[in-house]
Amino acid sequence: MQDTSPNPFPADLYGGRLTIDTDAIAANWSSLKSKLTGGAECAATIKANAYGTGQTETALRLHQEGCRTFFVAVPTEAVSLRQTLPNATIYALDGLFPGTADLLIQHNIRPVLGSLEELKEWAATCTAAGRSFDAAVHVDTGIHRLGLSGEEFLSALADPSLMGAFQPNLLMSHLACGSTPDHPMNRTQLQTFKTLTDPFKGISRSLANSAGVLLGEDYHFDLVRPGISLFGGRAFDHGENPMRPVAKVEVRIMIVRNVPAGDTIGYSAAETAKRPLRNAVVAAGYADGLLRRAGSSDDRPGGFAMIGDHKVPILGRISMDMITLDVTDIPEHLVKRGAFVEMLGPNVAAADLAAYAETIDYEYLTSLGRRFERVYGPLA
């Protein structure tokens, strides 16, 4: 599926271009699906505007590829997705906000119930309607965010005042340390989840996020719900990333200038030129999701961009709308006013850039492109 999303201005007016390859997203989903055994379903987690790639475009392409179950975070995302995919199964991970049960039912949204209060409210709605409406129940196995405690979970599922009105269609939990495959907590959570849910084997179960898919069959159960891997990010903190990149950020060069040795660059005079430099200033910054923490100083290197096959370091602070790059050693014909520089993409992995910014690729992907021209197609 290659199609250009509407942009309100002509391309030449944008400081940068964000290209998103939904075919690559679909290929990543199919790759993860191929790892499943025993009939497990591969869903897709597309919260936060599909990790910055566009919820509508991504959902449609994944549905075309064969995905039928989708997870988002908040009810607004779920209702919007329902307008795009009238027949898909849609879960809202953030659960049941007070007083919203009727609206979710109206749009056929399944909340992931993560507390006794939520479960009781949903059961009361089912009782009033005289029928059980689909929803998941989330049990906490050690991450201590959302989810019923083990004791609450077992008590609730044995309570006829709740279960007489409502029968969950999915039991789920979430891994705390999946990105570190050798972490002992993974096996601990797996065993806890099995112990708590084995008595209810007639109900589908889900534990695996992207990392859980790659951890192996023990973690797959009936349904997996990958997120970051669909969008080319790293599921594991270390090792090769088997996923295809799906996004590319290119930004325009505004000016090329010379900086004498000993002069400083950018805000707070953070970086001092150690030799005569030629700098290119590009039209993007932290307001576009290119995080300030990836800037450089005299005390630490910063991230980098690519011009053709040439790696160009970031120099000095990243500001709201501008980044300065060291192009001293780059052929002059490649560094011209108006030319594009790759800030993220096939040659600048989000995970690598995130390491300079002391964060994770999730933050980069979900923050990108507020002011960029947005294009859907291959990352050519």
Label residue 239 by pLDDT band (50, 70, 90): confident
Closest CA to 266 of 319, 302, 326: 319
- Note the pLDDT tens digit of each residue in 158-194: 999 899 889 999 999 999 999 999 999 999 999 999 9
- Provide the pLDDT confidence category of residue 54 given band limits of 50, 70 and 90: very high
Residue 49 in this model has a pLDDT that exceeds 50: yes
Q: Identify the band that residue 79 occupies on the pLDDT scale cut at 50, 70 and 90.
A: very high
User: What would you report as the CA-atom Rg of the chain, rounded to the nearest whole angstrom?
Assistant: 24
What angle (nearest 5°) sits at the alpha carbon of residue 352, between those of residues 343 and 332?
35
Neighbours of 238 (CB within 10 A): 10
The backbone torsions φ and ψ at residue 87, rounded to the nearest 5 degrees and listed phi first, read -110, 5
Q: What's the pLDDT band for 368 if we cut at 50, 70, 90?
A: confident
* Span 134-151, average pLDDT: 97
Cβ contact 327:307 at 8 Å? yes
What whole-number distance in Å separates Cα of residue 202 and Cα of residue 105? 23
Mean pLDDT in residue range 109-125:
97
- Mean of the per-residue pLDDT values for the chain? 95
Give mean pLDDT, residues 97-119. Answer: 97
Arithmetic mean of pLDDT, 102-108? 98
Please identify every residue annotated as catalytic.
Answer: 47, 267
Which are the contacts of 275, defined by CB distance < 8 A and separation ≥ 6? Answer: 261, 328
Categorize the per-residue pLDDT at 267 as very low, low, confident or very high, splitting at 50, 70 and 90. very high
pLDDT per position as a tens digit, 337-365: 999 999 999 999 999 999 999 999 999 99
Structural tokens at position 24: 């690559």
Residue 76, Cβ neighbours under 10 Å: how many? 10
In degrees, rounded to 5, the angle at the alpha carbon of residue 305 between the alpha carbons of residues 344 and 25 is 15
> Does the pLDDT value for residue 5 go beyond 80?
no
Q: What is the percent of the chain with per-residue pLDDT over 70, rounded to a whole number?
A: 98
CA 332, CA 323: separation in Å to the nearest integer? Answer: 19
Of all residues in the chain, the percent with pLDDT exceeding 90 is 93
Q: Does the pLDDT value for residue 95 go beyond 90?
A: yes
Query: What's the token pair of residue 227?
Result: 């997120």
For position 29, what pLDDT does the model report? 98
Q: Which of 325, 364, 315 is nearest to 52 (CA)?
A: 364
pLDDT band at 27 (very low <50, low <70, confident <90, very high): very high
Domains delineated in the chain: 22-231 (3.20.20.10), 247-376 (2.40.37.10)
Question: Would the pLDDT of 1 be above 70?
Answer: no
* Model confidence, pTM: 0.94
